[in-house]
């Protein structure tokens, strides 16, 4: 066992996030989509678990996150909340569940808490979400914002490229971040933006920033778990560090299993149930 972090026994809340920023303590966040992974993650002491709509790409086999539905998210959020005890659970609002109308946005956010056991919701976008965020927050639901590369807008961006890398776009992103804070967000994800910009945004805000491809100057970091454990192998963004190679380990395990089945090497004695010789003799007599 190579635990280097003492697992925490206390629940993380949105207030913990704010206090951690004040104390200069870094926040760790990872994505999960099932109870098994969420349980291990919780045991590891991670501060927060995001049930991201990356679900669509890394678990459900879609090309983008756009196909993910509210029902998909509720199903996986429920599983994560069954598996986790202490982490702050954030559920991603999928495409078209908060963009069409404010009432929809509030209702769908409420379902994340009421039906799926999440503690907060995350949504993508800047100033255009101001009124929506205010309405969700005023219903008592904590909101995490998401700026920079917002994957639900992939068709506008033309791909998953770095964002806000011009002076004008950087200025706009900082303005958006301040508007999201003012609207009531308790935290912001900054995805795929220049590290220098992320650091300035982080220093200008009272709420914590959680970076993914946004450098070390953010208040915390998030990674998509199947990327960081080397399970998702279709492509790996530059900002991912692989802490394991589950793809190769699983491929090796599956291949050895197939070989064992084909050669009669599995199951062995240790994986086999037996009955006493006396009972077996009696069984043979009854079966005659
Ligand atoms: O969907 C997701 O997993 C996310 C992270 C990349 C922040 O939004």
Q: For ligand 1, atom 6, which residue shows the shortest CA distance?
A: 224
Q: Which atom of ligand 1 is nearest to the CA of 54?
A: 1
pLDDT band at 4 (very low <50, low <70, confident <90, very high): low
Instruction: Sketch out the chain's domains with CATH numbers.
Output: 14-244 (3.20.20.60), 249-287 (no CATH)
Task: Among 46, 67, 92, 193, name the best residue to mutate to test ligand 1's pocket (greatest count of ligand atoms within 8 A of Cβ).
Answer: 92
What is the residue with the minimal CA distance to atom 3 of ligand 1?
Answer: 52
Averaged pLDDT for residues 111-129: 98
pLDDT attached to residue 30: 98
Check whether 2 has a pLDDT greater than 60.
no
Query: What are the tens digits of pLDDT across the range 55-77?
Result: 999 999 999 999 999 999 999 99
How much is the pLDDT for 235? 87
How high does pLDDT run on average in the chain?
96
Model pTM score: 0.95
274 is annotated as an active-site residue: no
pLDDT in tens, 145-161: 999 999 999 999 998 88
Residues 191, 274, 279, 282: which is the catalytic one? 191
Region 5-19 average pLDDT: 86
- For the record, the structure tokens of 2 come out as 């190579």
């Amino acid at each position: 066992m190579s635990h280097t972090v003492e697992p925490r026994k206390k629940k993380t809340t949105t207030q913990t996030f704010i206090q951690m920023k004040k104390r200069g303590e870094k926040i760790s966040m990872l994505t999960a989509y099932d109870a098994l992974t969420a349980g291990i993650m919780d045991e590891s002491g991670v501060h927060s678990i995001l049930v991201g709509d990356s679900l669509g790409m890394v678990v459900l086999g879609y090309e983008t996150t756009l196909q993910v539905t509210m029902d998909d998210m509720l199903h996986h959020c429920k599983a994560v909340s069954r598996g986790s005890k202490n982490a702050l659970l954030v559920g991603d609002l999928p495409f078209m569940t908060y963009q069409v109308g404010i009432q929809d946005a509030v209702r769908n956010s409420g379902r994340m808490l009421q039906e799926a056991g999440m503690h907060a919701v995350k949504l993508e976008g800047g100033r255009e979400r101001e009124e929506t965020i205010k309405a969700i927050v005023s219903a008592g639901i904590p909101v995490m914002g998401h700026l920079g590369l917002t994957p639900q807008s992939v068709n506008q961006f033309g791909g998953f490229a770095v964002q806000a890398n011009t002076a004008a776009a950087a200025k706009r992103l900082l303005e958006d971040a301040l508007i999201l804070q003012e609207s009531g967000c308790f935290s912001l994800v900054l995805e795929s933006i220049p590290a220098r910009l992320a650091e300035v945004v982080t220093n200008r805000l009272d709420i914590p920033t959680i970076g993914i491809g946004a450098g070390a100057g953010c208040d915390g970091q998030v990674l998509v778990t199947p990327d960081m454990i080397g399970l998702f192998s279709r492509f790996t963004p530059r900002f991912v560090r692989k802490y394991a190679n589950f793809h190769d380990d699983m491929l090796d395990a599956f291949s050895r299993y197939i070989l064992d089945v084909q050669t009669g090497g599995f199951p062995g004695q240790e994986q086999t149930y037996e009955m006493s010789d006396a009972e077996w003799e009696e069984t043979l007599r009854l079966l005659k």
